[in-house]
Chain A
Amino acid sequence: MSGRIFEQRTTREGWGRGLVDLGQKHDDVVVLVSDNTTSTQVHFFEEIFPDRFFQMGISEQNMAGVAAGLSRFGKVPFYVTYSAFGVGRALDQLRVTIGYTPCNVKVGGGHSGISVGPDGATHQMLEDIAIVRAIPNFTVLVPADFDQTRKAVVAAYSIDGPVYIRFGRENVPCVTGPNDPFEVGKAQMMADGNDCTCIAMGQMVSEALLAHDALAEEGIRLRVLNMHTVKPLDEEAIHKAARETGAIVTAEEHQLYGGLGSAVAQVVAANYPVPMDYVAIQDHFGASGQPDELLDAFGLRAVDIVMKVKSTLERKA
């Protein structure tokens, strides 16, 4: 499906640039990394602020705890690695030391989603949102593109408490502009429509916009919400979508269980039940392959959104 032409940039670069933006403004920002400086794009920060940069080696649990300690005495630590390890290996530290205290620690979840590509399933984190969203006190951000990731990093600094920011490895379409506002907890309306709503996160927002265009040709008006904040969820925007469009399809580069779709369904079911469906990884591990090939194979494309929108509309009263 084609039509819109987007500029392509990586969300990880948005993370790296956002940290530099913060570092220039705030002396208390420190960055910790676990032997993947360039691939998490924190070399930008390291080059300018070497005294505020800590190489922790391949020890994610220690890195999470060290970040907690730094936060107790006036620093605002951002730690980063691939989310498979930063969340997976360090979960206990995220839950007890960082979440339960709570500590003012920001966690960067790099190389998230299936679009990591050739590295295969071990490195394609598809469970991070389910895990982190379940820990009390955490804010969970999944920005859609380069500019929004950069803004999410800056916004995370202003939140007094733990924040998880998810981003990916590959180029993704730039669907927001540098001057678009970014407000934590407020869904961004990317396209309006009254027949159905697609609530998407991360790079699936661009697929939802392509689906919007394709459906428009058939006279189906799809609303597209960029749910860049998975926690706290913008319940008002979801209520409105349910009431005004009467059908919802979620789209995420994440497992079906526990991610954005689950979060939205909880709100919809409790308040204003409407037919729903979910574009997500269907309880499988990922696989090696080219990112585009994997998005096709695992059903994370505009065409998959279109199909689910149509079948959901059939169930609409």
Chain B
Amino acid sequence: MMMNGFPRGHCMSVHERWVAGRLRWSADALEQVARDVRCDILTLLANAGSGHTGGSLSGTDYLTAILFHEAAIDPGQPNWADRDFWHVSNAHVSPLIYSVMAERGYFPLRDLLGFRSFEGHLQGHPSAHDTIGLEVSAGSLGQGLSVAIGVALAAKMDGHPRRCYLCMGDGEQQEGSVWEAAMSAAHYKLDNLLAIIDVNRMQIDGPTDKILNIEPLADKYQAFGWHVINIDGHDMNTILAAFEEARSVKGKPTVILAQTIMGKGWSAIEDDYTWHGRPPTKEEADEALLGLDANYGGWWARLEANGMMP
């Protein structure tokens, strides 16, 4: 599945390299990758026996689009100085983060089978020290947006075209530090910053509007000085159009409110908040994978066999 956009052995300018780092895959191709990513998520969760299923499946489409279409990155050189910045702040969706990274070529697919194990390099919540390609460690909510602001400020200082993609959860909006950061991003007019919020309307203890209502989210971000785009977070064409719109916005940061369904792709658990932090058994994964035209044994074998490195 993996390839990056760099013609090797050709001397490129910063701008050329930056452009080449973007895969810009079509919506059709992205849908196919997203389907593979969902299969990876279900398989690695069942294999590990713990982890967060619901949010990993709700955020799959836009994170796939960031890494396979939008962001300039080079998994072969994860610390490439001219890379775009991407980071997932609601980092309990680590099954999603690792699956997309593996499909994109940051590390072999078989490493997904070491998720949450002492032998593996994929911690339950992401550790930048252990997993090459992550920008910062994460797992405590409400911290990532600030990090993205720092990156965006550095890019502005340097006159660099870098863009910053920062994913958050909707439950995460309950953290006060998110709003410190939201105020700060607008204050510094960071139009190179795009935040994407996974509005799946669920958190551990129940629906967000019952636990601590975060709405009206669009009004809040508008009031804080952001450009707000509200989309269906499972429609690839819409996601790509929102990315394009964000690029055209000047003088303010943009937030995409991705309206999603927790557990998307496995109909038996969709919109069921009890699946926030629960993994499928192997039998349940088998059933879920059937809906994606796959099966647990076959997908496990795919991960195990597929050790390709970039």
Contacts of B150 in A (CB 8 A): 65-72, 77
Contacts of A74 in B (CB 8 A): 81, 154, 158
**Chain B positions 8-26 with a Cβ under 8 Å from a chain A Cβ:** none
- Say yes or no: B154 contacts A75, CB within 8 Å: yes
Contacts of B152 in A (CB 8 A): 69
Cross-interface CB contact of A61 among B127, B157, B180, cutoff 8 Å: B180
**Chain A positions 37-70 with a Cβ under 8 Å from a chain B Cβ:** 51-52, 54, 56-57, 59, 61-70
Contacts of A96 in B (CB 8 A): 137-140, 143
- Say yes or no: A102 contacts B129, CB within 8 Å: yes
**Chain B positions 155-192 with a Cβ under 8 Å from a chain A Cβ:** 155, 157-158, 162, 176-177, 180-181, 183-184, 187
B302 to chain A, nearest CB (A): 32
Say yes or no for B151: interface residue by CB 8 A criterion.
Answer: yes
Query: Looking across the interface, which residue of chain B has its beta carbon closest to that of A55?
Result: B187
Q: Mark A86-103, 1 if CB is under 8 A from B, else 0.
A: 000000110111001111
Rounded to whole angstroms, the CA-CA distance of A309 and B78 in the bound complex is 56
Cross-interface CB contact of A65 among B85, B143, B176, cutoff 8 Å: B143
Contacts of A93 in B (CB 8 A): 143, 146, 177
- Say yes or no: A65 contacts B149, CB within 8 Å: yes
User: With A62-B181, A97-B138, A101-B129 given, is the CB distance from A73 to B162 under 8 Å?
Assistant: yes
Contacts of A72 in B (CB 8 A): 85, 135-136, 147, 150-151, 154
Most buried by B among A61, A66, A70, A100: A66
- Say yes or no: A69 contacts B146, CB within 8 Å: yes
Rounded to whole angstroms, the CA-CA distance of A160 and B20 in the bound complex is 31
Rounded to whole angstroms, the CA-CA distance of A101 and B133 in the bound complex is 12
User: With A62-B177, A69-B151 given, is the CB distance from A100 to B146 under 8 Å?
Assistant: no
Q: Mark A242-279, 1 if CB is under 8 A from B, else 0.
A: 00000000000000000000000000000000000000
Rounded to whole angstroms, the CA-CA distance of A67 and B154 in the bound complex is 10
- Say yes or no: B148 contacts A69, CB within 8 Å: yes
- Say yes or no: A101 contacts B184, CB within 8 Å: no
Contacts of B180 in A (CB 8 A): 59, 61-62
Contacts of B146 in A (CB 8 A): 61-66, 68-69, 93, 97
Query: Looking across the interface, which residue of chain B has its beta carbon closest to that of A68?
Result: B147
Say yes or no for B88: interface residue by CB 8 A criterion.
Answer: no
- Say yes or no: A66 contacts B136, CB within 8 Å: no
- Say yes or no: B143 contacts A51, CB within 8 Å: no
Query: Looking across the interface, which residue of chain B has its beta carbon closest to that of A32?
Result: B150
Cross-interface CB contact of A73 among B142, B149, B154, cutoff 8 Å: B154
Contacts of B140 in A (CB 8 A): 92, 95-96
- Say yes or no: A54 contacts B153, CB within 8 Å: yes
Say yes or no for B57: interface residue by CB 8 A criterion.
Answer: no
Query: Looking across the interface, which residue of chain A has its beta carbon closest to that of B125?
Result: A96
Contacts of A52 in B (CB 8 A): 157
Rounded to whole angstroms, the CA-CA distance of A57 and B147 in the bound complex is 16
- Say yes or no: A100 contacts B184, CB within 8 Å: no
Rounded to whole angstroms, the CA-CA distance of A96 and B136 in the bound complex is 9
Say yes or no for B128: interface residue by CB 8 A criterion.
Answer: yes
Say yes or no for B145: interface residue by CB 8 A criterion.
Answer: yes
B155 to chain A, nearest CB (A): 7
User: With A72-B136, A101-B129 given, is the CB distance from A59 to B157 under 8 Å?
Assistant: no
User: With A93-B146, A100-B127 given, is the CB distance from A66 to B153 under 8 Å?
Assistant: yes
- Say yes or no: A100 contacts B151, CB within 8 Å: no
**Chain B positions 106-145 with a Cβ under 8 Å from a chain A Cβ:** 127-129, 135-140, 142-145
B67 to chain A, nearest CB (A): 18
Query: Looking across the interface, which residue of chain A has its beta carbon closest to that of B142?
Result: A61
Contacts of A61 in B (CB 8 A): 142-143, 146, 176-177, 180
Rounded to whole angstroms, the CA-CA distance of A63 and B188 in the bound complex is 13
Which A residues lie at the B interface, using CB under 8 A?
Answer: 30, 51-52, 54, 56-57, 59, 61-75, 77, 92-93, 95-97, 100-103
The 30 sampled A-B contact pairs (Cβ below 8 Å) are: A51-B157, A52-B157, A59-B177, A61-B146, A61-B176, A62-B146, A62-B184, A64-B146, A65-B149, A66-B147, A66-B153, A67-B150, A69-B149, A69-B150, A69-B153, A70-B154, A72-B85, A72-B136, A73-B154, A73-B158, A74-B158, A75-B154, A77-B150, A92-B143, A96-B139, A96-B143, A97-B146, A100-B129, A101-B136, A103-B136
4 additional A-B residue pairs with CB within 8 Å, beyond A62-B149, A65-B145, A70-B153: A54-B153, A62-B181, A66-B149, A66-B181
